[in-house]
């Protein structure tokens, strides 16, 4: 959120993608792996959120925003976002909570 405010204040053109899955699901998986799934309820309590509309948060900060709710909307949303000037654009991409982000690439994996 602080980075968005800074980009708005300085008029920095940036496209910021928010993976909006209602949780910090990567942390949930790490937590479950560490505890062998024994604390599944605790992980859910810690890292699952009420539905957050980052589009509205961005607008309240003076940033442009686009909400993407279907995968087939993503390409046109990127095109629209990269054509906008005058400050940051938040892409609020609603995703499935069970989908995990790709892991790091490099010598370790």
Within-domain flag for 59? yes
Is 13 inside a domain boundary? yes
Q: How far apart are CA 21 and CA 51, in angstroms?
A: 8
| 62 in any annotated domain | yes
25-34 and 40-47 helices, crossing angle to 10°: 160
The stretches in the chain having pLDDT less than 50 are none
CA count, 13 A, side-chain hemisphere, 53: 6
- For the entire predicted model, the pTM comes to 0.69
pLDDT at 29: 63
Is 45 among the domain residues?
no
**Under a CB-based contact definition with an 8 Å cutoff, are residues 94 and 20 in contact?**
yes
- What range does the domain containing 16 cover? 2-21+51-94
Establish if 56 belongs to a structural domain: yes
What is the number of domains present in the chain?
1
Tens-place pLDDT, residues 67-98 = 999 989 999 999 999 999 999 999 999 887 66
């Amino acid at each position: 959120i602080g980075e968005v405010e800074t980009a708005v204040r300085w008029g920095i053109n940036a496209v910021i993608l928010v993976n909006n899955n209602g949780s910090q699901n990567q942390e949930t998986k790490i937590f479950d792996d560490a505890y062998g799934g024994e604390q599944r309820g605790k992980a859910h309590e810690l890292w699952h959120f009420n539905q957050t509309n980052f589009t509205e948060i961005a607008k309240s900060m003076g940033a442009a925003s686009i909400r993407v709710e279907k995968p087939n909307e993503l390409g046109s949303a990127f095109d629209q976002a990269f054509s906008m000037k005058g400050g940051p654009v938040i892409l609020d991409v609603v995703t499935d909570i069970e989908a995990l982000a790709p892991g790091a690439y490099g010598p370790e994996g």
